[in-house]
Chain A
Amino acid sequence: MMTRTAIIICWTLAIGLALFLLLPLVVIAAASFSPTPVFDLPLSGASTRWYGRIGRLDGFWPSLSLSLQIAVLSTALSLVAGTLAAIAIARGRLPGATALGTLLVSPLMMPGLVLGIALLQYFRMIGFTATWSALLVAHLVVTLPYVARTMIAGLSRFDFTLIEAARTLGCTYAGSVLRVMVPALAPSFLISGLFSLLASFDNYPVSIFLTDVRSKTLPIRMLQYIEEAPDPTLAALSTLILAGTLVLLLISDRLVGLHRMAGTAD
């Protein structure tokens, strides 16, 4: 009887929590199809006109382009640097490897606002004022921990005897890395890339200090829109971003399987 009650309570809580987390997404998606500028339930019909207005938002395309550039580039650089750093930390006999690993991951634990102000002051001090480059460097600080943490975890579980096994079976060293290490680490690679991409793309607190009037990243531009004209265009844009994220997740699932990415299998 006790267990039965407990199970009911647990499920109620779990479903309630899931609803609480997911309902805003449903609301935003519903709002994006609202025929009137003011979102009202129940909907009195459906319209896609807000979607058509996204592209005409003031400064939308440059902001989207900037955000994508920074997100993709910082992710690519983080994947290279983070993987190499992870190899040195997880595999090498580096003195102070653990400390170095903690240092690499530490920006994750720092409030974004503090990080943003600190970077702004620092960049000013050393005369590093090019907005685009400053943004890229700042986003690297944000994305590198995701990659480093995931790759260190992935590598520490990787058995390097597998490479030796592949070599004795006829693979060159490089071939062994490619045929054995890369597939084994693919889930770590993909999940850290995904995290990094999203962390950069929707970063607000660090970017806000480093953008100027002419170059604003998408999240900052969106906040500006909401202050100026709060109509469902933003809901439409948010829905599109949500859809894009879903597509990324689906592709990842197809490639390596989300269960492997979450580290729950094997």
Chain B
Amino acid sequence: MSEEEHSATEEFERQPVPSSALKGPGKFWGMYAGEHTAGTEFMIGPLFLAAGASIQDLILGLLLGNILATLTWRFLVTPIAMSKRLTLYYQLERIAGGGGVKLYNFVNGLLFCFLAGAMVTVSASAVGVPFGVTFEVPENWWQLSSPAFTVIVLLTGAVIAAIASRGYEMVARVANIAAPWMIIVFAACGLVSYTIMQSGDAFTWSDAVAFIQEKDGVQEFGFWKIVIFAWLCNGAMHFGMADLSIFRFARDKSSGWAPAIGMFLGHYVAWICAALLLAAQIKLSQDTTANPGMLAWSAIGWTGIVCVIIAGWTTANPTIYRAGLAFQALFPNSKRVVMTLVAGLVATVAGAFPTLSGKLLDFVGTYGTVLGPMGAVIFVDFWLMKRFGLRDEYAHATKSFFHPAALVAWLLPVIVGLYLIFAQGVFAAYLVIPCWLACGLLYLVLSKLTQKNA
């Protein structure tokens, strides 16, 4: 059977991907080319400028961070994915048992809802422009924007949730159709914004940073902070092994290099271009608000509006869909449609609080800190268990519904990490690797203890 004959519904969720369904490296380069040019890029790019990053640090820091991210996909995820050819969820189930995966699934689903919520805000920011409705990011997490913007968020979220409840296929097709065009539109935003900055009295990146810092106070976002963020903003996907679900289809190890194209188009070109939008806006109107819809509208008009709506929508849709699946796994007798609508409702409510999208750099780091460490369990189980005389895939081998080692090893570092983020104000992305290492070590130690006693 050719790979074309395997439809998207044949996903081998609970069995290894057969050799007949494997895909060549070209498919992976195609997949990743459009995957990281998304709604998040419209928010993250301007936030670098708003946080006071210099253009030199941004160009070099993103370069290094994206190289490290690509290496992580290639050497951490791809070997395990090609050896096991299972999804993250099924591998975890074999390690921790069905019961053990439930909590992880729930947390995963909840974080998906918040990510989708930020994307609802992004789309709503563009929907509001033709109606003259904009938003300010409030200081307080729990503060709504204007009533008009909140209504637009609720309507946008309702539409996105309703469409997501019908499945991901239709929106995935829209995303695939829009992907090449969106990459061009991001580049266009950068070119036009740069031209605006250079026209008349030249206005540099440094001028924009100085203006923001004069208005909002001095902030620092230096080289290494940029490197760490660029490397670990997708921590859940590479360190956390979520992309095992993609690379299990890889025929060749070289497919593991494919995320490079996503990184350098999305997390390099798109971020810098989106940041230039804010710099141009500051020159034109002295407005420092990172409102994606208004930024894109000012530079390229209706094309920008449509691009921001599609970018936010096509990112929110699979996120809400996946959250729905995660919730459904908790309640096996529930209907997927209902659970997707619940996820959509949570996402919409979250989207009504614009501080979530305004703090996307922190949220994305937290997302990686919470979900990333579970990848260490997979890593240790695959590479180290047998070397230490322990049994891998313990729950599967002992037909156990719940093996606590993986869950405890994951929860303890994550709880400490969340404390450091929310109580001590540590930049979230800094904690992805320490939590990952701690989780892996704990899993090994706990396995040694529990398997001995088993």
Indicate whether A and B interact: no
Interface residues of B (CB under 8 A from A): none
Interface residues of A (CB under 8 A from B): none
